[in-house]
Structure 1
Amino acid sequence: MKEALILASGSPRRRELLSRVCRDFEVVPSNMVEKEAGSAPPAEYVKMLADEKASEVASRFPSRWVVGADTVVASEGKILGKPADEREAAAMLRALSGRAHSVFTGVALIAPDGGKNVCSEETRVFFRPLSDDDIRAYVALGESADKAGAYAIQGSGALLAERIEGCYFNVVGLPLSRLSKMFEEMGVPLAAQWRDE
């Protein structure tokens, strides 16, 4: 890639993940206003949001590669977004306690020639049973505030999950292997993707 990749997301977690494999990229958050999911299945909803975010930024930088992403947590088909307050965070964690749920991340990759690749990745997360004291203590840490599903698996929330099935990085917010395959499908082979120090 002649010019730096653009990450169409202000998420510090996505920025940190991408920096592990890509030395030269720029962060340009999308100006898109997120729509409600309505009756859309979680996998389709995150694909739509990722596509809209990447497309909005690509319209401003038509000669650049742009990647957009969006992540949601879903339990029994219901999307759990970012909690509005500590009470809602506790309710979300109570609903996830002792059960499995899915984390979906939509990823959209747009090439300088206008080519586009959009997909979604699902990871299953299995929570340990949580007592009310456990939930109160975790919410008090403040990690729930801006996280889908009210937890951060890359932080102290790691203690809530007994196991996962699928991509760990997807739960954090950007499935790196899937993104790599998307680049490959659009003509950038794996051998050209390694980060050079």
Structure 2
Amino acid sequence: MAEHVYLASKSPRRLELLTSLGLKVTVAAGNAHTRGYFEGDEEVRPGEHPEDYVRRTAETKWREGWMRVTVMPGFEKGVPLIAADTTVSLGETIYGKPKDAEEAKAFLRALSGVAHDVRTAVVVGTGPEDMTSVVQRSLVHFRELTEDEIAAYVATGEPFDKAGGYGIQGLAGIFVSRIEGSFTGIMGLPVAETATLLARLGVRVL
């Protein structure tokens, strides 16, 4: 029988990655009219380092998810809840989800031809008292992008729900010359680190 986990995320990529591990995943669904659901605290505090920011935001999403999952019909006590957040940064400048097409283009211009950090924080716990987290950091190298490529990519609509304004598993994969780190971490959920956190709670993938 597949191990059961709850997921505090609307991300289809995170759901797909967890399902690929053979886990039974229940999304801690909220009310569709609830503004900001699973958006977390995405305002960057003055002087906040990207690693501190991404961990704090993931923990906020976990707490939001916990409040919802515990009132879901059929809630199973002892089943781990997973939350995650991903951020892209150059130095200590954080690039979140672009607000509009012009900001998406600006992000891609900034990332063009340089290596940037992608951090994903994962938070796992069966309750607030045993919540644990890890931050996985990868380095992504972009080739030089042309203005036409940037405009065409933004026109696809793909950048708008993704940190840094791109998704490595989508069309933006053609921008990447190489990576150092975790491909699944860059996608939004580092599966090796997630499996390690789950194993500490007795949930084993293998």
* TM-score of the pair, normalised by structure 1: 0.88
1:186 CA displacement: 3.4
Distance 1:135 1:118, change over 3 A: same
1:49 CA displacement: 1.4
Contact 1:124 1:166 in 2 (8 A): yes
Q: Are residue 44 (structure 1) and residue 52 (structure 2) matched?
A: yes
Q: Which residue of structure 1 lines up, in the alignment, with residue 33 of structure 2?
A: none
For residues 113 and 139 of structure 1, what CA distance do their matches in structure 2 show? Answer: 39
Q: Which residue of structure 2 lines up, in the alignment, with residue 173 of structure 1?
A: 188
Q: Which residue of structure 1 lines up, in the alignment, with residue 96 of structure 2?
A: 81
Contact 2:44 2:53 in 1 (8 A): yes
How many residue pairs get aligned? The number is 191
Q: Once superposed, what is the RMSD of the aligned Cα atoms?
A: 2.1
Contact 2:80 2:198 in 1 (8 A): no
Q: Are residue 121 (structure 1) and residue 136 (structure 2) matched?
A: yes
Instruction: Please list the CA deviations of residues 135-154 of structure 1 after superposition, one character each: whole Å capped at 9, or x if unmatched.
Output: 11211222112111111110
Instruction: Please list the CA deviations of residues 135-174 of structure 1 after superposition, one character each: whole Å capped at 9, or x if unmatched.
Output: 1121122211211111111011000010000000011100
**Unmatched runs of 5 consecutive residues or more in structure 2:** 31-36, 71-76
**Range that drifts further, 61-70 or 126-135:** 61-70
Identical counterparts, % of pairs: 38
Q: Which residue of structure 1 lines up, in the alignment, with residue 8 of structure 2?
A: 8
Instruction: Please list the CA deviations of residues 35-81 of structure 1 after superposition, one character each: whole Å capped at 9, or x if unmatched.
Output: 41212211111111111211232244451310000111111211101
For residues 37 and 186 of structure 1, what CA distance do their matches in structure 2 show? Answer: 31
For residues 3 and 54 of structure 1, what CA distance do their matches in structure 2 show? Answer: 19
3-state SS, counterpart of residue 6 of structure 2: strand
1:187 CA displacement: 3.8
Q: Which residue of structure 1 lines up, in the alignment, with residue 153 of structure 2?
A: 138
Contact 1:83 1:148 in 2 (8 A): yes
Q: Give, as a single letter, the amino acid of the residue that structure 2 aligns with 1:23.
A: L
Distance 1:2 1:101, change over 3 A: closer
Instruction: Please list the CA deviations of residues 90-142 of structure 1 after superposition, one character each: whole Å capped at 9, or x if unmatched.
Output: 11100000000001111100025941211111110000011112211211222
* TM-score of the pair, normalised by structure 2: 0.85
Contact 2:86 2:188 in 1 (8 A): yes
Q: Are residue 34 (structure 1) and residue 49 (structure 2) matched?
A: no
For residues 13 and 99 of structure 2, what CA distance do their matches in structure 1 show? Answer: 20
Contact 1:102 1:123 in 2 (8 A): yes
Runs of 4+ in 1 over 4 A off after TM superposition: none
Contact 2:29 2:68 in 1 (8 A): no
Contact 1:58 1:110 in 2 (8 A): no
3-state SS, counterpart of residue 117 of structure 2: strand
Q: Are residue 193 (structure 1) and residue 196 (structure 2) matched?
A: no
Q: Give, as a single letter, the amino acid of the residue that structure 2 aligns with 1:144.
A: P
